[in-house]
Amino acid sequence: MNMLLVSRIDDADALSFTRHFAGELRSHGHNVQFDSETAQALGTSGTMLSDSSSDIVVVVGGDGTILRCVQQMKRQIPLIGINWGEVGFLADLEPRDACTFLTHLPQPFAVEERMRISFSKDGTLLGEALNEALIVTTRPAKMLRFSVVVDGVPAQQFRGDGLLISTPTGSTAYAMSAGGPIVDPRIQGILLVPLAPYLLSSRPYLISSERRIEIKLESSKPAHLVIDGQRTVELGTDDVLEVKKSPFPARFVDADRNFFEKVDNKLRHL
């Protein structure tokens, strides 16, 4: 099998593990390459993740590293994460189990698709998120005013520090910390979570991805749209964002782990 290994490059132990792990996989007959950033950190040659034609991408890192990989892929290659972070909701393997799992992976292997959401302004795509996008003011301690429009009907208007627009996958990330619910990733919905709203009546919404959703900024203050913590887009004071389900879901190797059991185990170790 053709495998591309990606490691977090700010951790010497993660890089050392990745180098050793590549040798183990090669000893089992797999064709293993490093992505260009990992290869540079290891002092060897590699290939651009965006140009990879590998069968599977193996990520040694936390959720941030996995989100970065998904953002960089032009074609969504099946991915599996080896947890080298603090929590790692997106990483299904622990380092001690990774070699056994990958060397015994059946062919063809099962793939789980995870919904992503796209953000457009005036018909121009701004980006796509696997976890969430965050709209926040560029001026600290200042509130923004939002209007949420669903199928052409105003559904909610509020003032607050910001707004989180999350996928079900992202419901266990920032959205959970902001008071949103944990959502089954099999649900095709878009979660809206106001951040520190001025009125307590402003509550989270989970909206079907089949509906037409628009977010209108109605504030005198400019804002930023931060997508998966990887990309920042400047927004004007009266911009309208169209939010919808992306036609290109992220693809994860199915490690046959029950979502609710995994979340329970992760939360117990926070």
Q: What is the pLDDT of residue 180?
A: 94
Q: For residue 96, what are the contacts with CB-CB under 8 A and spacing of at least 6?
A: none
pLDDT-based confidence at residue 263 (cuts at 50, 70, 90):
confident
β-partners of residue 82 are: 60, 93
227: its two tokens: 């997508």
What average pLDDT does range 264-268 have in this prediction?
82
Instruction: Say whether both 123 and 160 belong to one domain.
Output: yes
* Residue 26: how many other CB atoms lie within 10 Å: 12
Question: Which of 160, 169, 165 is closest to 225 using CA atoms?
Answer: 165
pLDDT, tens digit (0-9, with 9 covering 90-100), for 140-151: 778 899 999 999
Instruction: Say whether both 236 and 256 belong to one domain.
Output: no
Instruction: Say whether both 108 and 171 belong to one domain.
Output: no
Amino acid found at 204: P
Instruction: Say whether both 152 and 122 belong to one domain.
Output: yes
Instruction: Say whether both 203 and 157 belong to one domain.
Output: yes
β-partners of residue 234 are: 224
Range of the domain at 215: 117-245
The one catalytic residue among 63, 92, 161, 239: 63
Tally of helices (H runs) and strands (E runs) in the chain: 6, 18
48: its two tokens: 């651009």
Instruction: Say whether both 103 and 124 belong to one domain.
Output: no
Question: Which of 260, 245, 259, 212 is closest to 115 using CA atoms?
Answer: 245
23: exposed, middle or buried (Cβ count in 10 Å: 0-12, 13-18, 19+): exposed
pLDDT at 270 over 70: no
Instruction: Say whether both 90 and 207 belong to one domain.
Output: no
Longest dimension (CA), the chain: 61
Q: What is the pLDDT of residue 201?
A: 76
* Residue 2: how many other CB atoms lie within 10 Å: 13
Instruction: Say whether both 95 and 64 belong to one domain.
Output: yes
75 vs 200, which has greater pLDDT?
A: 75
pLDDT, tens digit (0-9, with 9 covering 90-100), for 107-133: 899 999 999 999 999 999 999 999 999
pLDDT-based confidence at residue 32 (cuts at 50, 70, 90):
very high
Packing angle of the helix pair 95-103, 12-27 (nearest 10 deg)? 20
pLDDT-based confidence at residue 226 (cuts at 50, 70, 90):
very high
pLDDT, tens digit (0-9, with 9 covering 90-100), for 53-75: 999 999 999 999 999 999 999 99
Q: What is the pTM of this model?
A: 0.92
155: exposed, middle or buried (Cβ count in 10 Å: 0-12, 13-18, 19+): middle
Instruction: Say whether both 91 and 133 belong to one domain.
Output: no
184 is catalytic: no
Cα–Cα distances (Å) from 197 to 39, 180, 203, in that order, read: 45, 13, 9
**How many domains are contained in the chain?**
2
Q: What is the pLDDT of residue 73?
A: 94
